[in-house]
Structure 1
Amino acid sequence: MNTIENYINSGILELYVFGMTTDDENSEIAKLAANNIEIKNEIDAIEKAMQITSETFAPEISPAAKAMIMATIDYTERLKNGEEYSIAPMLNKNSKVDDLKIWIDRSNMQVSEDYETIDAKIISATPEATTIIVWLKHGAPIEVHDKEYEHFLIAQGTCTITIGEDKHNLVAGDYLAIPLYIGHSVEVTSDIACKIILQRVAA
């Protein structure tokens, strides 16, 4: 892979289009785009995709989708700024919150002060699984997955997760796996936000 391909794949051009790069980075990217057609075309493609996505989905974007978009940008930025790449352990019925303590306690993995209903921070992402810290103030609406399993480990607070007709009342330390093809929703039952380690595993 050549230097230009590495640059394009680094994620910095997406951050540039989103307006999240520094003045120095903006200057560097502008110069590169002026002298390299591949970079210019990539910026144009990102801008076009963002415009199409905005026009198509912006009026209906959910708080959860917005939180995940922002979490992805945050994760990309953290890696770009030198965060060491690491992979969280796979969650299962024997998992403990302390198994993820090295990520949970990090200063850059804390909830945003001004979030409205949901916030998220990505711990790690691989083709097999994405592990995320999620904070829910009220809950999450019903959804169905056909391409990924969801695993929940409650880190703080309490919630009720309904899978089909079955209700599961969960407290800190509890684990729950969500099967494919069955609708499920989350209702927060504690006075504080429910902090969840969510892992999405490719089916």
Structure 2
Amino acid sequence: MEDLQELIETGLLELYVLGDTNEQDNLLIEKIGAANPQLWAEVDAIGLALEKYALDNGIVSNPIILPFLMATIDFSDRMQAGETPVIAPILHEGAVAADYQQFLERKDMIMPDNFKDVFARILSYTPEAITAIVWISQMAPQEVHDHEYERFLILEGTCDIHIEEDIFHLVPGDYLQIPLHKSHHVMVTSKIPCKVILQRVAA
């Protein structure tokens, strides 16, 4: 499949926006998108249509979904505008904020004044990992990941990450990986939003 219209008709772009495509589909979409910039405009339109549908139908969604949908649209717009992709390092036990300094120094990687719940900016995307800067104002709701490891590096503020019965008290510089198949949620414990490098790595 090399044709943009044929790809649109498959419904894969809707799944891509929702984060439900596999690695092979992602590679296909990115290959066609490299030759057809219109694809990213279609991705943006789908994202906005899904958001409008949710608002019009009064759907109460997971507060994580919309910030990451908007971050995905923003990332697509940046790539379409010619931003040179830079692959962020994989988070690990010895990772430090300085490993991400080139991203943290960017003037567009800032927290808005009036965000609610969660705000995210994607740093890089590969089939292996998606990396973002995320600000959490009070909490991030319960989630379970079956196909990806979620990793945190705390930059500012403090939080408690609850993994089922265990509670991890995190401060700037701390790293934590969420195990697969484990229910978890985040509670901010500082007066300021908790700013983290968040990475989801394919299992």
- Rounded Cα–Cα distance in structure 2 between residues aligned with 1:123 and 1:18: 19
Equivalent position of 1:157 in the other structure: 157
- C-alpha displacement of 1:191: 0.4
Other structure's SS at 1:114 match: coil
CA contact (8 A) 1:10 1:80 kept: no
Other structure's SS at 2:133 match: strand
Query: Does 2:98 align with 1:98?
Result: yes
Residues 37-83 of structure 1: per-residue CA shift (max 9 Å, x gap): xxxxxxxxxx6xx4996489861222211100100011011111121
Query: Does 2:42 align with 1:13?
Result: yes
Structure 1: which 5+ residue stretches go unaligned? 20-46
Normalising by structure 2, we get a TM-score of 0.77
Going from structure 1 to structure 2, the CA distance change for 1:51 and 1:158 (only over 3 Å counts) comes to closer
- Rounded Cα–Cα distance in structure 2 between residues aligned with 1:147 and 1:18: 23
Going from structure 1 to structure 2, the CA distance change for 1:8 and 1:192 (only over 3 Å counts) comes to same
Going from structure 1 to structure 2, the CA distance change for 1:63 and 1:166 (only over 3 Å counts) comes to same
Equivalent position of 1:72 in the other structure: 72
Query: Does 2:174 align with 1:174?
Result: yes
- C-alpha displacement of 1:95: 0.1
| Larger-gyration structure (1/2) | 1
The percentage of aligned residue pairs carrying the same residue is 40
Greater fraction of residues in helix: 1
Q: How many residues align?
A: 174
Going from structure 1 to structure 2, the CA distance change for 1:57 and 1:168 (only over 3 Å counts) comes to farther
Equivalent position of 1:189 in the other structure: 189
Other structure's SS at 2:196 match: strand
